[in-house]
């Protein structure tokens, strides 16, 4: 069983060594601490190796040539172009959605930036209510034929009532992601600060606070380190001996206490208690234990440890190291030791200076972050604080805010999803509420998938891996749900899951019974293969899970008595229209899954009979239909309401993120899909509008896509800290918007056939008029290509394409081009106007130019 909780790492403790309530000087008894660490080194070495394996994956990706850095990849050596990638403000945060997020995939914190009182609200990704349990409803399958019959007879209400009573999850609702605690810094006399500035440097992954008290300048830096698995806080003053503060920790959870461990390390220790579910009207058990520890080093001055505080007086500078962990090992095992995990993390940082911790963090972060560079131009608007730029975006020219928004989305994915961690949930890893909106779960009828749309195209493939871990888990629990609820082989996931990997339908039958959540997640496995060409991944990890997901639908699909088509029932078009037979989205997702499985099996040379079975069944699934208004039908029947502006646009899955509806391949369905999107309108929640950016990009309508994007960059759909406003905060809108910008500049989902080697790279498919000049480097295309694009006057001038797999390349441009490699023309074919095909060699770079 894979351990989801990163527990790095060996080392020595970073803290003083005095008794509680006793003052100590800044000298640390390093020899004693090293002896402690040495005794633990052996048992920590295995855990340390896990971390090194994850970190080495990133290090390998950083080893690119100078040519790749300068022409295709973001150029990490030129620091000047990254300096504007900061969110900054002239005042501390008053609300949580004004605070600035830092994270390492596992540990997240929101930095408020107060002067007299600083607050770091922090999270650890595995602190959830609940316990290991089964969610499936034994005996539900007995009611399946009755519910289907009622739906065929048009008795929707009766079907929903029967399904609600007998076919839902036990219990009916899933669990809640929880806040961990708060680190408070009390700085007496700092209420009269001047020259205040608070910022988040997304290029470095560091939150900073800077202000003056009299002639003294005070600075704080906060980051969450992936290499060292701790949150680091650095406090400095320009005048020696002027730094005085008290650090305390607390938590919203009642069963917590603050104590001193290992003689001089403040700790926050607790256990989640049972809670009352207002909707279920009963007590719900919780079992997880948790602990946070605060290591410290002070330069100059004195430090005093009490039972509930760390007091630093008259120091020159100080470094605080926050570690946090829970007893979660995996969704079946909660026997981990959080105290030991915290001790290891603190000890691992002990011999490292602040500069060493900072340098390792920045190197790790930039290795991912600087892969992609976007330049849309800069105006005087960059001189304004970020909150003012958001307020003024609709009435001023500020293209750099789009660039900042794009890169902020990439920053958030790096900060909330790393190899070995949980995937980003509805709020990434940041949550301050005991009852967060929608429990801050993984909602799989759009939101979880949207979180990972930027992963491959925006050159963060490693950040995709936690989602694959979740898929492995829900495939296990989903087998039981498939059997208990539907009598089917394979596995199924409905529209939500939680830390305990529930897969049964929750909440209510009219939207909870939706059977294609797992099938949609499987698209991410296939997409990872399309972008990377990792055949081992396809063979050992992706295809077995995809095959089982397809096997479920081999058993589940039934024949519609009126049409003879195979349909999915019972199900729903997500959160719209109630329980039905045959929603279009289901059929699009199932066809996509079958197609990907067929192709994967062909590539691997396996399962010939199964491929034939899927091919035959795929041809019988209810097709996309054009309705009376010229729209793409959302349901089997032609009953769409053209005035319905529901936030979900589920029946356009085949347009995006699917690929069965395309401009050149299916023009009639393409036009019908556009009509449906026009009916839905330009409004919606944050994530809904982000999806519409991607839809309009697929329609190759850059100005309409930009209209949707610009609506996201306003105070109605964005909080001052650039978090997406659903409202309330949901992180999916950030990720969907970032993916939409990439989709406007580069598309690679179509081609001459299903094999990714024939994928077409479409350069600038949806460039809006407002982006007349610009460039992008480091985006990725299916087929194993890394792309740089430059344009002027709204037209392509040059593209640099690096072939990472040696596949055939097909390029669609807006004008005739010439293609060279090392300055020499290469042979191309032109199957249609402005489309060019050529063979590539692994590792070679090709220049596409219009001059």
At residue 672, the pLDDT reads 98
**34 — alpha (psi -120 to 50), left (phi > 0) or beta?**
alpha
Helix/strand/coil (H/E/C) assignment for every residue in 772-789: CCEEEEEEEECCCEEEEE
**Tokens (6 digits) for 643:** 């005035």
Q: How many CA atoms lie within 13 A of 236 on its CB side?
A: 10
Confidence band (pLDDT; 50, 70, 90) for 377?
very high
Q: Identify whether the C-beta of residue 207 lies closer than 8 Å to the C-beta of residue 92.
A: no
Question: What does the alpha-carbon distance between residue 334 and residue 436 come to, in Å, rounded to a whole number?
Answer: 23
* Residue 839 pLDDT > 60: yes
Report whether pLDDT(204) > 80.
yes
Please state whether 490 falls in left (phi above 0), alpha (psi between -120 and 50) or beta. Answer: left
Q: Report yes or no: 747 and 765 within 8 Å, Cβ to Cβ.
A: yes
Structure confidence at residue 375 as a pLDDT band (50, 70, 90): very high
Task: Report the 10 Å Cβ neighbour count for 690.
Answer: 30
29-75 pLDDT, tens digit per residue, is: 233 333 333 433 333 333 334 444 455 444 445 544 333 445 566 65
Residue 609 scores a pLDDT above 90: yes
**Does the structure show a pLDDT above 70 at 756?**
no
Mean pLDDT of 622-639: 97
Q: What mean pLDDT is predicted for residues 547-555?
A: 98
pLDDT value of residue 7: 32
Query: H or E element: which one contains 66?
Result: helix 66-67
- Confidence at 257, pLDDT banded by 50, 70, 90: very high
Per-residue pLDDT at 8: 32
- List C-alpha distances in Å: 305 to 244, 267, 781: 14, 11, 55
% residues pLDDT > 90 (the chain): 87
- In tens, the pLDDT along 379-417 reads 999 999 999 999 999 999 999 999 999 999 999 999 999
Please report which confidence band the pLDDT of residue 759 belongs to, taking 50, 70 and 90 as the band edges.
confident
Long-range contacts of 716-721 (CB under 8 A, 24+ apart): 717/686, 717/689, 718/390, 718/686, 719/97, 719/98, 720/89, 720/93, 720/97, 720/98, 720/386, 720/387, 720/390, 721/87, 721/93, 721/97, 721/98, 721/99, 721/100, 721/101, 721/200
Determine the pLDDT at residue 280: 79
**CA torsion through residues 796, 800, 804, 810, sign:** positive
CA–CA separation, 325 and 107 (whole Å): 9
pTM higher than 0.75, yes or no? Answer: yes
807-818 pLDDT per residue, tens? 999 999 999 999
CA proximity to 704, closest of 784, 765, 786: 765
* Average model confidence (pLDDT) across the chain: 91
Residue 124, pLDDT > 90, answer: yes
Given this model, what pLDDT does residue 385 score? 98
Query: Which residue has better confidence, 277 or 526?
Result: 526
**Mean pLDDT, range 215-238, rounded to an integer:** 98
277 band by pLDDT with thresholds 50, 70 and 90:
confident
Cβ contact 247:321 at 8 Å: no
Residue 113's region, left for phi above 0, alpha for psi from -120 to 50, else beta, is left
- In this prediction, residue 640 has a pLDDT band, given cuts at 50, 70 and 90, of very high
pLDDT value for 75: 57
pLDDT for residue 202 is more than 60: yes
Q: Where does the pLDDT of residue 281 fall: very low under 50, low under 70, confident under 90, or very high at 90 and above?
A: confident
Query: What integer pLDDT is reported at residue 76 of this predicted model?
Result: 54
Asked if 121 and 179 count as a contact pair (C-beta separation under 8 A), the reply is yes
The candidate with the shortest Cα–Cα distance to 271, out of 229, 230, 332, 328, is 328
The predicted structure's pLDDT at residue 430: 98
**567-594 pLDDT tens trace:** 999 999 999 999 999 999 999 999 999 9
pLDDT given for residue 12 in this prediction: 30
Query: Percent of the chain beyond pLDDT 70?
Result: 90
At 773-810, the pLDDT tens digits run: 999 999 999 999 999 999 999 999 999 999 999 999 99
Give me the pLDDT at residue 709, please: 97
pLDDT of residue 37: 36
pLDDT band at 156 (very low <50, low <70, confident <90, very high): very high
| pLDDT class of 307 with cuts at 50, 70, 90 | confident
């Amino acid at each position: 069983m894979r351990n989801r909780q990163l527990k790095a790492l060996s080392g020595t403790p970073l803290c003083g060594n005095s008794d509680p309530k006793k003052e100590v000087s800044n000298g640390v008894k390093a020899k004693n601490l090293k002896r402690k660490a040495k005794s633990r080194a052996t048992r920590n070495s295995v855990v340390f190796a896990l971390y090194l394996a994850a970190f080495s994956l990133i290090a390998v990706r950083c080893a690119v040539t100078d040519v790749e850095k300068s022409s295709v990849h973001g150029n990490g050596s030129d620091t000047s172009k990254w300096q504007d990638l900061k969110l900054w403000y002239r005042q501390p945060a008053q609300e949580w959605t004004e605070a600035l997020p830092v994270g390492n995939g596992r540990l997240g914190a929101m930095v408020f930036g107060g002067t007299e009182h600083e607050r770091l609200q922090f999270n650890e990704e595995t602190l959830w209510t609940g316990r290991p349990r089964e969610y499936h409803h034994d005996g539900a399958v007995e009611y399946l034929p009755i519910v289907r019959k009622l739906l065929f007879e048009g008795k929707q209400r009766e079907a929903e009532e029967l399904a609600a009573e007998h076919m839902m999850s036990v219990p009916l609702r899933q669990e809640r992601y929880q806040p961990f605690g708060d680190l408070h810094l009390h700085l007496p006399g700092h209420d009269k600060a001047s020259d205040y500035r608070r910022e988040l440097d997304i290029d470095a992954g560091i939150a900073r606070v800077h202000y003056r008290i009299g002639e003294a300048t005070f600075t704080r830096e906060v980051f969450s380190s992936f290499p060292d698995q701790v949150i680091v806080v650095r406090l400095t003053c320009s005048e020696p001996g002027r730094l005085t503060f008290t650090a305390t920790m607390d938590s919203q959870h009642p069963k917590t206490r603050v104590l001193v461990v290992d003689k001089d390390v403040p700790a926050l220790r607790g256990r989640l208690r049972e809670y009352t579910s207002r909707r279920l009207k009963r007590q719900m058990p919780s079992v997880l234990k948790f602990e946070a520890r605060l290591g410290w080093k002070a330069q100059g001055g004195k430090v005093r440890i009490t039972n509930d505080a760390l007091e630093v007086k008259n120091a020159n500078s100080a470094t605080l190291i926050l570690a946090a962990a829970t007893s979660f090992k995996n969704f079946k095992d909660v026997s981990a030791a959080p105290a030991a995990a915290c001790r290891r993390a603190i000890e691992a940082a002990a011999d490292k200076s602040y500069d060493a911790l900072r340098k390792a963090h920045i190197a790790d972060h930039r290795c991912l972050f600087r892969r992609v560079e976007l330049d849309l131009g800069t105006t005087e608007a960059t001189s304004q604080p970020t909150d003012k730029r958001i307020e003024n975006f609709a009435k001023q020219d500020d293209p750099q805010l789009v660039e900042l928004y794009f890169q902020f989305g990439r920053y958030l994915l790096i900060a909330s999803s790393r190899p070995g961690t949980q995937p980003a949930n509805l709020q990434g890893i940041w949550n301050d509420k005991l009852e967060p909106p929608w429990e801050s779960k993984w909602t799989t009828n759009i939101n979880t998938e949207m979180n990972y749309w930027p992963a491959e195209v925006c050159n963060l493939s490693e950040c995709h891996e936690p989602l694959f871990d979740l898929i492995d888990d829900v495939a296990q629990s989903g087998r039981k749900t498939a059997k208990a609820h539907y009598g089917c082989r394979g596995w199924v996931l409905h529209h939500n899951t939680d830390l305990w990997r529930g897969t049964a339908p929750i909440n209510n039958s009219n939207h909870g019974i939706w059977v294609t959540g797992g099938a949609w997640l499987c698209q991410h496995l296939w997409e990872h293969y399309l972008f990377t060409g990792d055949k081992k991944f396809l063979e050992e990890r992706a295809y077995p899970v995809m095959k089982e997901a397809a096997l479920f639908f081999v058993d589940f699909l039934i024949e519609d008595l009126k049409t003879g088509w195979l349909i999915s029932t019972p199900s729903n078009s997500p959160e719209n229209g109630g329980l039905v037979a045959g929603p279009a989205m289901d059929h699009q997702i199932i066809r996509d899954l079958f197609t990907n499985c067929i192709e994967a099996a062909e590539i691997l040379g396996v399962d010939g009979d199964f491929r034939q079975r899927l091919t035959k069944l795929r041809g019988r699934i209810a097709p996309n239909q054009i309705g009376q208004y010229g729209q793409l039908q959302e349901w089997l029947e032609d009953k769409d309401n053209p005035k319905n502006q529901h936030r979900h646009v589920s029946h356009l899955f085949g347009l995006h993120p699917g690929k069965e509806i395309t401009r050149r391949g299916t023009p009639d369905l393409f036009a019908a899909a556009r009509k449906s999107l026009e009916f839905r309108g330009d409004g919606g929640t944050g994530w809904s509008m982000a999806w519409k950016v991607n839809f309009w990009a697929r329609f190759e309508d850059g100005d309409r896509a930009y209209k949707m994007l610009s609506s996201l960059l306003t105070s109605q759909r964005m909080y001052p800290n650039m978090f997406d406003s659903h409202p309330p905060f949901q992180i999916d809108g950030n990720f969907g918007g970032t993916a939409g910008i990439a989709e406007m500049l580069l598309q690679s989902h179509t081609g001459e056939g299903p094999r990714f080697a024939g994928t077409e790279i479409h350069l600038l498919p949806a460039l809006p008029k407002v982006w007349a000049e610009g460039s992008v480097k480091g985006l990725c295309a299916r087929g194993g290509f890394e792309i740089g694009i430059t344009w002027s006057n709204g037209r392509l001038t040059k593209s640099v394409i690096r072939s990472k797999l040696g596949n055939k390349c097909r390029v669609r441009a807006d004008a005739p081009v010439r293609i060279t490699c090392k300055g020499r023309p290469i042979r191309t074919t032109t199957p249609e106007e402005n489309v060019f095909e050529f063979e590539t060699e692994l590792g070679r770079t090709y220049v596409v130019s219009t001059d």
